[in-house]
Amino acid sequence: MTRHSLPRLLSAVALAIAALGGCTHVQPPAPPVAVNIVAINDLHGYLQANPYSFRDSTAADGVHVLKAGGIATLGGMLTQLRKDDPQLLFIGAGDLVGGSPPLSAMWADEPTLEALRYMDMKLSAIGNHELDNGKAEFLRQLNGGCESTRPTRACQFRARYPGSGFPYLAANLIDTDTGKTLLPPYRIEEVKGQKIAFVGAVLRDVASVVSAKGLQGLRTEDEADSINRLIPELNRQGVNAIVAVIHQGGSTPEPYDKQDCSQLSGDIVEVAKRLDPAVDVLISGHSHQGYLCKVGPLLVTQGSSYGHLMTRLTLDVTPGQHRVTGIHATNLLADPAHYPADPQMLALQREVEARSNNILLKPVGAIAASPITRRANAAGEAPLGDLIADAQLAAGAAHGAQIAFMNSGGIRGDLALEPGLKRLNYGQLATVQPFNNTLIAFDLKGRQLEQLLNQQWKTAGDFNALQVSRGFSYRWDSTRPLGSRVIPGSVRLNGKPVQPERNYRLVVNGFLADGGDRFSLFKQGINRSDLGVTDLDSLIDYLHRMEQQGKPVGSAKSAGRIVKVK
């Protein structure tokens, strides 16, 4: 072959290829497949519809309140949504149980898990409240059985408890006995021929919201790092989409159904920013907020709490690729007026009510005003917080207690008399104080009290107010630096300044005594004494005793124990 013949040969080959190309038929790309996901978070065992307040520009005061949620309504919503897509995936983002009203809690939350099993929940991230009663009890709730740390509650609703019926996921929750994750880190669901990977995680700082006893044998790692490590493994398995389900959250002043809201703040934002770009959407929980926000290009959702909202997501998935071409999200209000009740779920709810009401409806005490709410004023003080702290102070009187503190997050509802009734019932009080934390008394010095109060601010906008008992007061200034917002000299007991080196006897619940909610100063307490009474018992006893004395307690307004100067 001469050096001139090679170009002629290549030209002939090119012409032949071109001719063949004219005869071939290029297949158009496959259309995207719509994969539907419905998520709930922070159900907390609410079997019944319950009050939900949300922003509404058409309401007189800008806030609309209605009863929403309940397993009968949630079941009805799923029935309706499955008519459009029988293959939709129903999932959870943690705290499905724990911190529950007594209607579920008195049965170890087994009725709630039975309901979720019936509704065909596919999976859930684990939340902090699933660990309230420790690793062993959580695993029993997951896997089934009756050997429980709560023998008077477990397997009392049904003689046999089969387990949750769906897996919990956590990529960052480590069993210290094995050094491995306690739970599967992810699950791949195949739907309409597509592989959808769900990766779960619990908030890294779970130790701040779960008692030390509840976390015994467990530790957590960073949420984003734990999820990102799994991306190569998921890609090797040929997944078409990756959904992060993280029990951590944020908040926004925007409406729960605002598309692509832009004002999300809180811990979930930094987690979202650090997730691998391969994550297509983030379903969150923990903060009891409703939002459909964007953090950069990533959609971050949450469906409020207590079953008030369901988050519906449609992922447009490209077959044969890890590619999501579109995501459509809505938060659906679980309004019983708009969705027919699911008959089986309604029957389950009524069965639980019938078997529980002889205990829950028992009258226990009167109050001087109604309602008494947990809603705090600008200073951080709530009327119900005042009442609970006073009850705990009364319980600690025999142990020399001078001051009681109550964590706001442990107050789970408001107190209000039912129409036509003059006394509260056991169920109402157990709903407000569901954790049955034992009260602990101990001593702290006056200077430690001021340091403790300054721990209420973790960041400039994060105020985690402690509720305080009668006789104790202080003032604070939002313009002062973190760590010194409490005005020096303003901390007083019975009108007198607290002395820096004097010991003061405190009473708090066991969660706070162990440094819960990041109040590490409580762990420095000395001369500890277990009162042998729970937070709920102290509240019941206090209301009953004051009623017997003809002095019912409680106010619709806070008492002014905490003052915000500016």
Residue 60: pLDDT band with limits 50, 70, 90? confident
Q: From the CB of residue 499, how many other CB atoms can be counted at a distance below 10 Å?
A: 12
Pairing relation of β-strands 218-220 and 194-202?
unpaired
Please tell me whether residue 349 adopts helix, strand or coil conformation.
Answer: helix
List phi, psi (to 5°) of 562.
-115, 130
Per the rule left: phi > 0, alpha: psi between -120 and 50, beta: everything else, 387 is: alpha
Instruction: Report which residue type is found at 216.
Output: Q
C-alpha 236 chain-centroid distance: 33
Using CA of residue 346, residue 347, residue 348, residue 351, what is the dihedral sign? positive
Q: 143: which strand partners? A: none
Kindly state the tokens that stand for 209: 């919201």
Whether residue 18 is predicted with pLDDT greater than 60 in this model: the reply is: no
Q: What angle do CA 242, 246, 249 make, to 5 degrees?
A: 130
pLDDT band (50, 70, 90) for residue 9: very low
CA-wise closest residue to 101 among 349, 268, 295? 349
Task: Tell me the whole-structure pTM to 2 decimals.
Answer: 0.90
Integer Cα distance of 242 and 232 in angstroms: 12
3.20.20.20, 3.90.780.10, 3.30.1330.30, 3.40.50.2300: which CATH number matches 363-564?
3.90.780.10
- Give the whole-angstrom CA distance, residue 432 versus residue 560: 22
Query: What tokens appear for 218 in the block?
Result: 């467990």
Question: Judging by DSSP bridges, how do beta strands 241-247 and 194-202 pair with one another?
Answer: parallel
For residues 315-323, average pLDDT: 95
Joined tokens for residue 530: 């277990």
CA distances from 350 to 25, 355, 357 (A): 62, 9, 10
Distance in angstroms (rounded) separating the CA atoms of residues 236 and 257: 36
User: CB count, 10 Å around CB of 480?
Assistant: 16
SS3 at position 124: strand
Share of the chain above pLDDT 90, in %: 92
Domain spans in the chain, listed from the N-terminal domain onward? 33-350, 363-564
Task: Enumerate residues 6+ apart whose C-beta is below 8 A from 202.
Answer: 94, 125, 126, 127, 128, 170, 172, 173, 220, 223, 246, 247, 248
DSSP alpha helices (H): ranges in 254-342? 267-274
Q: How distant is the alpha carbon of residue 205 from its chain centre?
A: 13
Per-residue pLDDT tens digits for 245-301: 999 999 999 999 999 999 999 999 999 999 999 999 999 999 999 999 999 999 999
Confidence class for position 140, pLDDT limits 50, 70, 90: very high
User: Could you report the per-residue pLDDT of 45-59, keeping only the tens digit for each?
Assistant: 999 999 999 988 777
One fold for both 33-350 and 363-564? no
What does the angle CA 538 – CA 540 – CA 544 come to, to the nearest 5 degrees?
115
pLDDT at 5: 42
**Rounded mean pLDDT of the chain?**
94
- How many C-beta atoms surround the C-beta of residue 516 within 10 A? 25
pLDDT tens per residue across span 484-516: 999 999 999 999 999 999 999 999 999 999 999
Going by C-alpha positions, the residue among 289, 384, 338, 311 that lies closest to residue 54 is: 289
| Residues near 170 by beta carbon (within 8 Å), at least 6 away in sequence | 125, 126, 181, 182, 183, 185, 200, 201, 202
In sequence order, what are the residues at sequence separation of 6 or more whose Cβ sits closer than 8 angstroms to the Cβ of residue 471?
A: 402, 403, 493, 494
Q: Which CATH class is domain 33-350?
A: alpha beta
Quote the pLDDT of residue 24.
Answer: 52
Give the residue from 347, 303, 345 showing the smallest Cα distance to 71: 345
Nearest residue to 243 via CA among 197, 193, 310, 186: 197
